[in-house]
Structure 1
Amino acid sequence: METLNNIVLTIQHYLADYILIILLLAGGAWFTIRLNFIQVRGFKEGMKRAFGGLFSKKGEAGKDGMSSFQALATAIAAQVGTGNIAGAATALAIGGPGAIFWMWIAAFLGMATIFAEAVMAQKYKQVGKDGQVTGGPVYYIRAAFQGTFGKVLAGIFAVLITLALGFMGNAVQSNSIASAFNTAFGIPQPVMGVIVAIIALFVFMGGMKRIAKVTEIIVPFMAVLYIIGSLIVIFYNYKNIPYAFASIFVGAFKPSAVTGGAVGATIKLALTKGVARGLFSNEAGMGSTPHAHAVAKVDHPVEQGFLAMIGVFIDTFIVLNMTALVIITTKSIPSGKTGAELSQFAFSTLYGKGGDIFIAVCLLFFAFSTIIGWYFFGEANVKYLFGTKAVRIYAVLVAVCVVLGSLAQVDLVWNMADCFNSMMVIPNILALFMLSKVIKSVHDDYYKKFLKKK
């Protein structure tokens, strides 16, 4: 087991720190240029569509899909997870405040990539035998690579995402909830695991409609809760806000010059940890969120592309930034802690024991919403691989993984989840590169033809 774990760690090291950073940054830069900075030009329209959906019933979905806002909420449910609390803290502990600057760069470029993913998911979506709309990378991978190679590559992607997110990933999320509640309230981890599994299974069994309803309610609430709790800490330490931004910008290029920065932090560490954690937090290029964007009811694929970009913006530039600014303004990096413990320590500087409770509650919402989102992404691929009859079995197996994940942290399972997650990126990004002419064509059709008809 130890040998296998070391092999998995080695593979993940080369994937995350080299191959994926190159692929994802190259993809983001390519689509940013190819689509003429769509993340800037389309930002206003994306915000209008995203926040207009909060207060309006307009665009309600039928029985076969989701409304545009519900699809966005489901995507954000998956994006905003434990990585926003633990991932940002780990990047800060290892790479110093400068890692946040590189997270911003990764997110900015990732907005163009996720636009491309959403547009292709919309273009190649399918209507299943159950009458419901379904879609995702498996369909545009097969469009990009014709014949047997495309079928094999799509099949590999479907297996990887089902294992990485549906099973292993959801066990990881469950463990985060159980551990946090055990620390904050003394609730035994297995008890919390069973509670989460029962609630999750209830949501799963309700199908797409119930998943959509739950995410559109829980996502705005959890985001507002975390933002308010974070802003209180940040404004309490308002004198350190200039220091926080200075340390982020200076630390990005000269980590050793940042007072209180991470010991041993270098530009390479700041860049690699910032980019890697940023990309895996917002999931741009991973091929996960297109499953949600595919089922949205929109008049043109580009309209959902605008909303997909806002998902990355909310995840990184708002939610993840809250964690980073709380940790930096409280000057908690030198504490020697990392991950969720560093975040808890930072919040406890103001809230005391309440900091543990606050993080536990936020982790419950963040991780539980991710469980729902990742289940939905896996479900689309289970349907692709085995048909609709396998969905019920898949739902029960995911609930079992949620219970097992709460019992203990098994390093091999955790590391394999990260590794499979990384492997998903390769077929997804390669397909997007192959379809870049199609992406550009759909983009041009929206601006040159569709808008003129409205």
Structure 2
Amino acid sequence: MEKLAEGIATLNQLVGGFVWGPVMIGFLLLAGLYFTVGTGFFQFRRFGLWLRGTLFAIFRSPDVRDRRDPGAISQFQALATALAGTIGTGNIVGVATAITAGGPGAIFWMWISALVGMMTKYAENVLGNRYRYRDAHGKWVGGPMVYIERGLGCRWLAVLFAVFCAAASFGIGNMTQANSISGALASSFGLSPLAVGIAVATLAGVVILGGIKRLASVTERLVPFMAVTYTLGGVLIICLNWRGIPAAFSAILSDAFTLRAAGGGAVGFILSDAVRYGVARGVFTNEAGLGSSVIVNSASNVKEPVRQGMWGIFEVFFDTIVMCTITALAILTSGAHLLGGDGAELAIAAFSSGFGRFGGVFITLAVCCFAFATILGWSYYGERAVDYLFGARARIGYRLCFIGMTVVGCVGSLQLVWSVSDTFNGLMALPNLIAVLLLSPEVFAATRDYLGRIKKGGPSHEIRRHSARRG
């Protein structure tokens, strides 16, 4: 077993070195910058527009919670399920790991990846909405494999994405999350990883085997509760350590441009740990460029592709700019990063500085809720990918396998699980980014059309569908 683990680690190191090397990191950042410029800096100049169409609409628009379409889920359910896939252990354990491995400067690059990644996710959602279609049962089907095949006419690239997505669902969406749950519970309560794995698998199975309707029903209740609770707790820790806020921002900005563990020179900067871990953990937590959340967003009742794109912007904003920053500042202002430790232990130390023993319990419960929600969200992503590859008959087999792998994740190695997850993230991003960039003229045209109708005061809830959207 040890030799197998060593072999996997060696192979992953070779593949991961390419996936998260300077080419892939540059590809992700440049793709986001390309859509930022191409849409006229939409995420900045239209900040009020997309915020009104997302966050404010949750409280003011009844359409956001409309469930009348039997073949779709509501916009709020789609958001909650997508956030369930993104607001996971990456917001706690991922941030702590990035600081440990890349220094405080990794947070700066996490912000950069999020600011430009907003528009990558925007583009993905626009295309997902434009090319989705109803299946034989009247349910919406969409995602990168759909717009790759129908938009580019490239079946083999769509298959490649689906393969990587199905594989990634066992890493980023399953074993990593389960591993973090068992690590947190073992640290706080001394529980057996195997017992935790069995319990998590049982709870996940009850929800996952019920299909997307049951899954969305659970996430729309779980995600808002855990997000608000964690945000309030994190803000309180930061307020208790408010004197350390200037030093924390200073460390983030100054450390972002150092040549940590790199070869020196310009290449050293590109390969620096701060950049690598900042971008990798940023993508891990907000999934911009992966195309995964498009799968569930395409199942919502949104009629307007650009409105669906704006939900993507909000997902990245809330996940990384808000949630990850809260974790980072809690760790840095409390000085927990100077005490040693990794993963959940670092976050526990930060919250314990203000809450005492309850801080450890708080983080443990937060990690468990976040990770469990991510497991639920990614089970749907992987299921749709398997459905695309093998048909509906393969769903039950995938679900059972996915549920069983949570046990494996709980008893596995933290370092190996995280590194394998990073690798599959990068592999999944490649076919998706190729397709999104090639289809970018449609994204830009849809954006101009939408903004033009708003400027003229015309209806913004309908759009002229692309002629290629057939079947």
8 Å Cα contact 1:63/1:209 also seen in 2 = no
Query: Comparing 60-69 with 166-175, which one deviates more in the overlay?
Result: 166-175
Residue in structure 1 matched with residue 138 of structure 2 by the alignment: 131
8 Å Cα contact 1:165/1:421 also seen in 2 = no
Change over 3 Å in CA distance of 1:267–1:384 after alignment to 2: closer
Identity %: 39
1:215 aligns with 2:219: yes
Query: Comparing 230-239 with 26-35, which one deviates more in the overlay?
Result: 230-239
Change over 3 Å in CA distance of 1:407–1:75 after alignment to 2: same
**CA shift for structure 1 position 222:** 0.8
Match of 2:97 among 90, 96, 99: 90
The C-alpha deviation readout for 1:210-229, integer Å capped at 9, x for no partner, is 12111111111111111111
1:421 aligns with 2:425: yes
**CA shift for structure 1 position 382:** 1.6
Match of 1:385 among 389, 409, 434: 389
Residue in structure 2 matched with residue 260 of structure 1 by the alignment: none
TM-score scaled to structure 2, two decimals?
A: 0.89
8 Å Cα contact 1:96/1:255 also seen in 2 = no
Residue in structure 1 matched with residue 78 of structure 2 by the alignment: 71
Match of 2:412 among 408, 412, 423: 408
Distance 1:74 1:252 in 2: 33
Distance 1:180 1:68 in 2: 32
Residue in structure 2 matched with residue 189 of structure 1 by the alignment: 193
Distance 1:379 1:169 in 2: 12
The C-alpha deviation readout for 1:118-157, integer Å capped at 9, x for no partner, is 00000111212332111100011123432xxx11111111
Match of 2:233 among 218, 229, 237: 229
8 Å Cα contact 1:43/1:310 also seen in 2 = no
**CA shift for structure 1 position 409:** 2.8
**CA shift for structure 1 position 168:** 6.9
Distance 2:259 2:176 in 1: 31
Residue in structure 1 matched with residue 118 of structure 2 by the alignment: 111
What does residue range 294-373 of structure 1 map to in structure 2 within 5 Å?
294-373=298-377
Residue in structure 2 matched with residue 261 of structure 1 by the alignment: none
TM-score scaled to structure 1, two decimals?
A: 0.92
8 Å Cα contact 2:131/2:151 also seen in 1 = no
Distance 1:69 1:442 in 2: 23
The C-alpha deviation readout for 1:137-189, integer Å capped at 9, x for no partner, is 0011123432xxx1111111111111111467412211211221122123322
**CA shift for structure 1 position 374:** 0.4
Residue in structure 1 matched with residue 108 of structure 2 by the alignment: 101
Alignment-mate amino acid for residue 10 of structure 1: L
Query: Comparing 316-325 with 40-49, which one deviates more in the overlay?
Result: 40-49
**CA shift for structure 1 position 371:** 0.4
Distance 1:412 1:103 in 2: 22
Residue in structure 2 matched with residue 201 of structure 1 by the alignment: 205
8 Å Cα contact 2:39/2:444 also seen in 1 = yes
**CA shift for structure 1 position 266:** 11
Alignment-mate amino acid for residue 198 of structure 1: T
The Cα RMSD (Å) is: 2.2
Change over 3 Å in CA distance of 1:5–1:251 after alignment to 2: closer
8 Å Cα contact 1:53/1:69 also seen in 2 = no
Alignment-mate amino acid for residue 83 of structure 1: G
Distance 1:198 1:206 in 2: 13
Distance 2:325 2:335 in 1: 15
Residue in structure 2 matched with residue 177 of structure 1 by the alignment: 181
8 Å Cα contact 2:145/2:162 also seen in 1 = yes
Residue in structure 2 matched with residue 259 of structure 1 by the alignment: none
Query: Comparing 357-366 with 411-420, which one deviates more in the overlay?
Result: 411-420
Change over 3 Å in CA distance of 1:5–1:248 after alignment to 2: closer
Change over 3 Å in CA distance of 1:407–1:273 after alignment to 2: closer
**CA shift for structure 1 position 292:** 1.6
Alignment-mate amino acid for residue 79 of structure 1: T
The C-alpha deviation readout for 1:198-246, integer Å capped at 9, x for no partner, is 2211211222211211111111111111111111211111111122222
The C-alpha deviation readout for 1:39-82, integer Å capped at 9, x for no partner, is 12333233223334544643413211111121111111111111
8 Å Cα contact 1:100/1:274 also seen in 2 = yes
SS at 2:281's partner residue? helix
SS at 1:63's partner residue? coil
Query: Comparing 305-314 with 184-193, which one deviates more in the overlay?
Result: 184-193
Unaligned stretches of 5+ residues in structure 2: 261-268, 460-471
8 Å Cα contact 1:133/1:295 also seen in 2 = yes
Distance 1:336 1:411 in 2: 16
Match of 1:453 among 451, 458, 461: 458
Change over 3 Å in CA distance of 1:267–1:9 after alignment to 2: closer
Distance 1:376 1:44 in 2: 31
Query: Comparing 243-252 with 311-320, which one deviates more in the overlay?
Result: 243-252
Query: Comparing 243-252 with 173-182, which one deviates more in the overlay?
Result: 243-252
8 Å Cα contact 1:167/1:398 also seen in 2 = no
1:58 aligns with 2:69: no
Distance 1:246 1:324 in 2: 13
1:6 aligns with 2:16: no
Change over 3 Å in CA distance of 1:232–1:423 after alignment to 2: same
Change over 3 Å in CA distance of 1:209–1:3 after alignment to 2: closer
8 Å Cα contact 2:85/2:375 also seen in 1 = yes
8 Å Cα contact 1:285/1:428 also seen in 2 = yes
**CA shift for structure 1 position 315:** 0.6
8 Å Cα contact 1:35/1:440 also seen in 2 = yes
**CA shift for structure 1 position 194:** 1.9
Unaligned stretches of 5+ residues in structure 1: 257-264
